[in-house]
Structure 1
Amino acid sequence: MTIYLVRHGKASKDAVYQRDEERPLTKRGRSDVDRIAAQMARAETPIHQIRHSGLLRARETAEIMAQHLNPPGGVIKVAGLLFDDPVDVLARELHLEPEPVMFVGHNPFMERLASHLLVGNPNQTPITFSTSCTVCLEFIEGAWSVRWVLNPKIVP
């Protein structure tokens, strides 16, 4: 089983947006996500479905990923990927995923989920998720492991 954890791209901090949910990706955020998605497409990364939190910046990130990766299961909004959502709910359900799925959400949730899966403790942080950071995790022989990490600072 393979999953992809993605923190949304860099979002606007402009005061014009009254609510946090309305903040779109910045030009840099779009560019960062586009470069990572293009790299994944060049590597023929299989993604069946992309799920996002529903906040605008996560939805925009998911849509950019989908433009490159063409997931047959589409792009859908799901609950449980926001900042302080409990990680154990999603962690318990991951074994039910027969196909590779990408989750686009927010910190600290993404870091806590990765920590929970990798070391069994959501409060340890073996991976830091900068904006647009994408982590591929595989479940092999009863344990999760990191297959690769793409960070916008290392992707041309």
Structure 2
Amino acid sequence: MLITLLRHANAEDRSLTVADEKRILTEKGIKQSKRVADFCESKQLLPEILLSSPLTRAEQTAKIVQKNLKACPEVTLVTWLENGTPLKVVVAELGKLAEQQLDNIWLVGHEPDFSELIAYLLQSKGDHFSIKKASLTSLDVCFTGTPTARLLWSIPCSLIT
């Protein structure tokens, strides 16, 4: 199963009085999200299903990408992509999607959760990865037995043109 991870784009500073789950994208974050969509359009990268954390910054990122990427499916919010969800829960939910024969799943979420997921699937350590805001990372994941993956590519937003 192909899984593409999109970390949410640049959001308001954590030091503001806004609750973490309500932080919105900055103007830079909006531009990053549109740039990701344009890149995906030009490379014909299109999800079969687009799942997002319900936290505002992730949802906004997902919806901007969906709106600007032709033929992209609607965004589905899932609580198991919230920041801090235990890794076992995320892996179990991905396993359920694999059982449904879904093959090209995109996830929009957070750090350090994505680094931990990638490390687990690649049988590595979480501190070996740092997923930048608005970056795309693609894995080919096998859910037969213990889930394992092969890193296909990872592109930080700063290199997306």
Structure 1 length normalisation: TM-score?
0.86
Q: Structure 1 residue 148 and structure 2 residue 153: aligned?
A: yes
- Contiguous gaps of at least 5 residues in structure 2: none
Contact 1:107/1:129 (8 A) holds in 2? yes
Question: C-alpha distance in 1, partners of 2:54/2:157?
Answer: 22
Q: Does 2:135 correspond to 1:130? A: no
User: How does 1:41-56 map onto structure 2 within 5 Å?
Assistant: 41-56=41-56
- Aligned-pair identity in percent equals 25
4-13 vs 141-150, greater mean Cα deviation: 141-150
Unaligned 5+ segments in structure 1 are none
Distance of 1:140 and 1:15 partners within structure 2: 40
Equivalent in the alignment of 1:105: 109
CA contact (8 A) 1:4 1:102 kept: yes
1:47 deviation in Å? 0.4
Aligned to 1:83: 83
Q: Between Structure 1 and Structure 2, which shows a larger proportion of helix residues?
A: 2
Q: CA deviation at 1:14?
A: 7.3
Shift of residue 90, structure 1, vs aligned partner: 2.0
Partner residue of 2:72? Answer: 71
SS of corresponding position for 1:40: helix
Residues 140/22 of structure 1: CA separation in 2 closer, same or farther (3 Å cut): closer
Query: What amino acid does structure 1 have at the position aligned with 2:116?
Result: R
4+ residue segments displaced more than 2 Å: 14-18, 68-72, 92-97, 123-127, 139-143
Amino acid corresponding to residue 8 of structure 2 in structure 1: H
Q: CA deviation at 1:15?
A: 5.9
CA distance in 2, matches of 1:7, 1:29: 11
Whole-angstrom distance in 1 between the partners of 2:41 and 2:17: 33
Q: Quote how far apart the aligned CAs of 1:127 are.
A: 2.8
Deviations 1:8-48 (A, max 9, x none): 00101276653112211011111112112211111111301
Alpha-carbon RMSD: 2.1
**Aligned AA (1:152):** C
TM-score (norm 2): 0.84
